[in-house]
Amino acid sequence: MRWLLITNARCVKPSGGITMPRYPLNPVTVGLSLGLAGALLALGSYRSAAEADVQRVEDQRVSQTNVLVEYIEPSWADRNRPGGRRDGGASRGGPCAPITGQPNLTALVPTTLQRFEPEETQFDTESDSPLSTYTSVLTFTTDPQPLLWFYFPYEQSELFTLELILQDEGGNTLEQTNFVPTEQGPGIVQIPLSTEISLTEGEQYQWYLYAHCAASQPEDPPVYAKGWIKRVPPPAALESLPPRASERQRAALYGTNGIWQDALTIVAERYREQPQDPEARADWVSLLSSIDFEPSTLSTLVAAPWLKVGSAAEVDR
């Protein structure tokens, strides 16, 4: 056997009897390597945990190594959908302005851009979009008493009340309830409908969530989000699930069938109850990542704490 002569190398013979070259450590190379490693560690430290989670979920979704809960826009939804407003802001420094660096009051719902055809739709289409289009906020549920989920960017001392209004398609008010935060914000809250409310299958309802702040004056423009929710029959695929199917399987089925509200509630409640479960967090990040939030808003939402609210009537007792 012939050996290629390598300058500055010493040959050693391992226990197997084969002679291998051993290279001396070059101090310049070692220094560069350590410097590069330190730079990479420093760079990585600036990425927030939320941003890293979002990227990890995207990588996992692409690799298909595991099925995550995500939302797919339903193909069966009506072409003409009602308009809405997913987030409601206020002027910086004014009443109900979010804490610096925080998103506005935000409903956790998907939006779709619709072509404005006023002669073919009976619904309100308020929007900041170009005149030929408008933003639709319509989600679906199979639950007669679904939960609504929101992010509010206020400290407890700044927010006076959250007011939920629910109306039918005719504009008749079915519920008007005030809630107050019982924990320090910002964070994510769930708003329940009144126990006296039961959504009818096949009908859709408009909701409003107003933020009333301690410093607000009557002349100040309202800060609110609004949208629509429609109760639909359970997807046929739900019947094919085994009797012992997990809540995660049900959430995945709801998500892929466009039933956002039910998928969100299952995933949110699971993650809230099991915050250390990597699978629960991955599903939470995946579901929010599958709709059209801006990257900065998405990073805030996936890392936001869970906050409790109570009805104003109960808290005042």
Compute and round to an integer the Cα radius of gyration of the chain: 26
Q: What is the pLDDT of residue 114?
A: 80
pLDDT at 50: 58
CB atoms within 10 A of CB 256: 17
Q: What is the pLDDT of residue 19?
A: 46
Contact indicator for 256, 68 with CB cutoff of 8 Å: no
Q: What is the pLDDT of residue 46?
A: 34
Q: Is residue 264 part of a domain?
A: yes
Burial of 290 by CB count in 10 Å (0-12 exposed, 13-18 middle, 19+ buried)? buried
Within a domain: 3:
no
Q: How many structural domains are present in the chain? A: 1
CA dist., res. 118 & res. 115, Å (int): 9
CA 90 to chain centre: 21
Answer whether residue 99 is part of any domain.
yes
Strands in 20-158 per DSSP E: 20-22, 87-88, 105-107, 112-115, 133-136, 138-141, 147-152
C-beta separation of 216 from 96 below 8 A: yes
CA distance 247 to 205: 26
Residue 148, in any domain of the structure = yes
Q: Find the CATH number of the domain harbouring 268.
A: 2.60.40.10
What is the SS3 assignment for 30? helix
33 occurs within a structural domain = no
In a domain, 37, yes or no: no
Q: Say what the pLDDT of residue 43 is.
A: 30
Predicted pLDDT of residue 28: 42
Identify whether 274 is part of a domain: yes
For residue 4, give the H/E element and its range.
Answer: none
User: Do the Cβ atoms of 3 and 11 come closer than 8 Å?
Assistant: yes
Amino acid at 214: A
Are 306 and 271 within 8 A, CB to CB? no
Confirm if 131 and 116 have CB atoms less than 8 A apart.
yes
β-partners of residue 133 are 115
Residue 204 phi, psi (nearest 5):
-120, 155
DSSP-based three-state secondary structure for 146: coil
* Containing structural domain, residue 120: 52-315
**Residue 160 has what pLDDT?**
77
Q: What is the pLDDT along the chain (317 residues), one digit of tens a residue?
A: 444 433 344 444 444 444 444 444 454 444 434 443 443 343 344 336 656 665 555 544 433 446 789 999 987 766 678 889 999 866 555 667 777 778 889 999 999 888 766 554 445 555 554 567 788 899 999 999 999 999 988 887 777 789 999 999 999 999 999 998 888 878 999 999 999 999 999 999 999 999 888 777 777 778 899 999 999 999 998 888 888 888 999 999 999 999 999 999 999 999 999 999 999 999 999 999 999 899 999 999 999 999 988 886 655 54
> What global pTM score does this model have?
0.74
Q: How high is the pLDDT of residue 55?
A: 56
Beta bridge partners of 105: 88
Tokens, residue 9: 């190398």
Does 143 map to a domain? yes
For residue 15, count other CB atoms closer than 10 A to its CB. 5
